Structure 1
Amino acid sequence: MIRSCTDNIQKISLANNQIKALSNKFFLTFTQLREVDLQGNVLTTLPEAVGNMQHLISIDISKNKLTVFPERLTDVSSLQHISVEGNQITDLETLSPMDLSFFYSENISINPTTFFNDSRNLTFLPFYQHSLAVASVIILAYVLIFLLCMLGNILVCFIVLKNRQMRTVTNIFILNLAISDLLVGILCLPITLVDNLITGWPFDVVICKMSGLVQGASVSASVFTLVAIAVERFRCIVYPFQRKLTRRQAIITIAFIWALAVAIMCPSAVTLTVSQDVLHFTVDEHNVTSPLYTCWEAWPDQSMRKIYTTVLFSHIYLAPVTVIVIMYTRIAVKLVKPPASIRDAHAEDESRRVFRRKLRVVNMLLMVALLFTVSWLPLWILMLLTDYGNLSAAQLDLVAVYVFPFAHWLAFFNSSVNPIVYGYFNENFRRGFQAAFKMGLCLVDEPPQPRRNGTWKHNRVFADRDGPNAQGNGRREFCSGQQRDELVLEDLD
């Protein structure tokens, strides 16, 4: 009869009764308890039977005389709230790591003011890293470059693929650059934004590995593509009579670029993992504790991580940027001298016009390379600084919370700014963008148009057609595949 009565009791309050001890019989009798209030007593421990309370959701043992945390509470899988403030718990060394994980995995809500004042220096971190105002600025900044990245690079892909005249060797490389930027924008930018706003890693290990691999491979493919463009321009301008790269060879080069980019990032993808930090956890505005997970590279030795970071820096930043600088320096030296004087006045005028267009294209490609160098430099400096700078915990926290979001934003900005550079420097891309914005995208593929007649002399094109109506027919000619006097990039070969 007593047992049937106690089975219906789900909440008991024994607060402020000066109770010195509870026996096992108490918890063995009231097995259906969901809430127990024992605050304001003089308890120094809890009985072993408390670990069998499989329906217990909340227990308040605050303002007692506890000196160690009741370890048996970690066996209660249903427990969601523990209040232990006002005790004298100063040491958690008696708890094993598995016991400590209890506080994270079950979303235990506790008062951290007096509980975690122990020798292990367990740390509480705010779930949201920034105030609402700062977070709003970060979100707006990331959304802006995300939209620019999507719109601009999709238009670049459309223009190059739609118009046969735009499928040149250099434009194929630019298409590859746009695809890699799209991958960064779609798969990396949103994940990085969330990671910069909240503490810890909110996703699973698959996204951790995928994000690192895709971002690293896309960046590697971008810089290798910039190197390929620089070398191709160098060969065409400095050594104009050498055999030019065909479109088939360009596609093979791009395939090799992606294979190399994925290969160089494989060690990162293999070592990336998600693990729980048993000495840190997050607390939200409702004082609810959550586990802290981090996405990190689990190298067997820390020195191996430093070596790998150095290899990445040298192979996908320092060495490629050096090659690009050398190539464009040689091109600049070649183009400093104006074209040689030609007796025929018309031919000489066309030669100078082609020279100016060639210089404009080189300026465009040089600007793309320069923007890449400047955009990614801060992030590389931070990564090297965290590995070699011997920063203190406070300095690392400052860098992670405030500096890394800006460095990531600047790096992602590079993926959205390239289409703007193309539109500013190149008439063909500019006319393609204008046609798209005027809803003039050509949805019907028209038969190919014959190329305009022209005279080729010493790597220069001399157009036979010109007229005052050329500008007005820009969108129609773009849709039909015809080209005006403005040269596509391949015309400079």
Structure 2
Amino acid sequence: MNTTLDPLSASLLYNEEDGNKTFSNLFEQPDWQVALWAIAYTLIVIVSVVGNVTVIWIILAHKRMRTVTNFFIVNLAFSDASMATFNTVFNFVYALHNDWYFGLGYCKFQNFFPITAMFSSIYSMAAIAVDRYMAIIHPLKPRLSSTTTKVLIGLIWAVAFALAFPQCYYASTKFFFPRTVCMVEWPGDYGGKHQLSLVGRRLWGSEIPGEASDHYQNHIQAKRKVVKMMIVVVMTFAICWLPYHIYFILGSFNKDIYKQHYIQQVYLTIFWLAMSSTMYNPIIYCCLNQRFRSGFRKAFQCCPFVKISEEDNMELQHMITLHMRRSFRTETASVVVRNHASDPEDTTSTLIKA
């Protein structure tokens, strides 16, 4: 049986001198250092929970914001808030003292639900990418309905639960005097470039003839903003989690790195960076999207330095419908460009009739 211990399992040094057995912790930190780390990790939890809950409220409380993309963003926000709530603090305490205080039940839970939330985050970003692809490459095809979107979100969570369950099933606590560790004991001895270019050409190089072109280009600009926003979200996620995975990859080849005196500070740093990925998305939405920015102003209008304008209310409440007609030289046609309530900001419906 191959036993997977926590990354700081080497933190206890066993000495035997003159027949006396003593145990010492190589990675004990002074109180001021623990306090600084506690502040840093608390910041993640506060910003992540407040920010992501606000994002969920902005979307669900305003009909104009209930689009296909935004429903997946709700799922992403819920996953991030769950990760920050159930994973950050407990693993921080565990990493500080390398002693599991929370029992077998929570050992299994923290090896299950936070990992489920991570899978859900990844699949939500993938679903948003597919939705953007369909909106840009096939704008005339029917979009996902609200019911279908909710079914897909349920499927995302079902797959995430299934993938995380083995981690929960094999999680256990072991007592190694004078501490307890939470670990996973695995059985046995093992523990689209072309399409991207197509999206880019269609999104940044498309035009249509006639009077509808200017209005259509406005919608293209809106689509570009959404795509840029999601590119930033995905890149931020990748940057935050890359050092964390590199750390464990290196450790799998050379376990001696876990015995270095500096390794606890390295681990706390890269774990902070990984967990901080849960708090950046609301900031990105606020900076890159006018409607989310208006929603945040509305959510925090009680604060003395936040002022909400009539323009902010209009951004969140009002729908715009514009009909334009054009007679082409080769044949008579009608071009109808609508800003749909089902996807008001980033979806253009173009209908051509002979």
- Alpha-carbon separation, structure 2, partners of 1:326 and 1:173: 25
- The aligned residue for residue 124 of structure 1 is 24
Residue in structure 1 matching 2:66, options 167, 172, 189: 167
Matched, 1:404 2:267: yes
The structure in which a higher percent of residues are helix is 2
What is the CA-CA distance between 1:456 and the residue it aligns to?
8.0
The 1:490–1:114 alpha-carbon spacing in structure 2 relative to 1, beyond 3 Å, is: closer
The 1:145–1:254 alpha-carbon spacing in structure 2 relative to 1, beyond 3 Å, is: same
Residue in structure 2 matching 1:215, options 107, 114, 128: 114
The 1:122–1:254 alpha-carbon spacing in structure 2 relative to 1, beyond 3 Å, is: farther
Matched, 1:453 2:340: no
Matched, 1:373 2:238: yes
What is the CA-CA distance between 1:174 and the residue it aligns to?
0.2
- The aligned residue for residue 351 of structure 1 is 216
* Range 401-410 or range 146-155, more displaced: 401-410
User: How many residue pairs were aligned?
Assistant: 319
The 1:456–1:210 alpha-carbon spacing in structure 2 relative to 1, beyond 3 Å, is: farther
- Over the aligned positions, Cα root-mean-square deviation in angstroms equals 3.3
Residue in structure 1 matching 2:181, options 280, 294, 297: 294
Structure 2: 5+ residue stretches without partners: 1-12, 309-316, 326-333
- Alpha-carbon separation, structure 1, partners of 2:324 and 2:263: 56
Residue in structure 1 matching 2:199, options 311, 318, 331: 331
For the 8 Å contact 1:276–1:294, the answer to whether it is kept is yes
- Alpha-carbon separation, structure 1, partners of 2:20 and 2:255: 21
- Alpha-carbon separation, structure 1, partners of 2:196 and 2:132: 8
What is the CA-CA distance between 1:349 and the residue it aligns to?
2.4
- The aligned residue for residue 153 of structure 1 is 52
TM-score by length of 2: 0.80
- Alpha-carbon separation, structure 2, partners of 1:488 and 1:227: 20
- Alpha-carbon separation, structure 1, partners of 2:190 and 2:271: 24
What is the CA-CA distance between 1:123 and the residue it aligns to?
3.9
The residue identity in structure 2 corresponding to 1:350 is: H
- The aligned residue for residue 391 of structure 1 is 255
For the 8 Å contact 1:339–1:355, the answer to whether it is kept is no
For the 8 Å contact 1:459–1:492, the answer to whether it is kept is no
The residue identity in structure 1 corresponding to 2:276 is: F
Q: Per-residue displacement from partner, 1:114-154 (whole Å, max 9, x unpaired)?
A: 9832799864216x732233322211211111111011101
For the 8 Å contact 1:230–1:327, the answer to whether it is kept is no
The 1:362–1:326 alpha-carbon spacing in structure 2 relative to 1, beyond 3 Å, is: farther
- The aligned residue for residue 425 of structure 1 is 288
- Alpha-carbon separation, structure 2, partners of 1:265 and 1:352: 44
For the 8 Å contact 1:350–1:462, the answer to whether it is kept is no
Structure 1: 5+ residue stretches without partners: 1-112, 279-290, 306-322, 442-448, 464-481
The 1:456–1:294 alpha-carbon spacing in structure 2 relative to 1, beyond 3 Å, is: farther
What is the CA-CA distance between 1:413 and the residue it aligns to?
1.0
- Alpha-carbon separation, structure 1, partners of 2:14 and 2:156: 56
- Alpha-carbon separation, structure 2, partners of 1:380 and 1:211: 18
Matched, 1:205 2:205: no
Aligned ranges for residues 36-47 of structure 1 at < 5 Å?
Answer: none
- The aligned residue for residue 144 of structure 1 is 43
- Alpha-carbon separation, structure 2, partners of 1:159 and 1:244: 22
- Alpha-carbon separation, structure 1, partners of 2:107 and 2:115: 12
Identity of aligned residues (%): 26
- Alpha-carbon separation, structure 1, partners of 2:132 and 2:146: 14
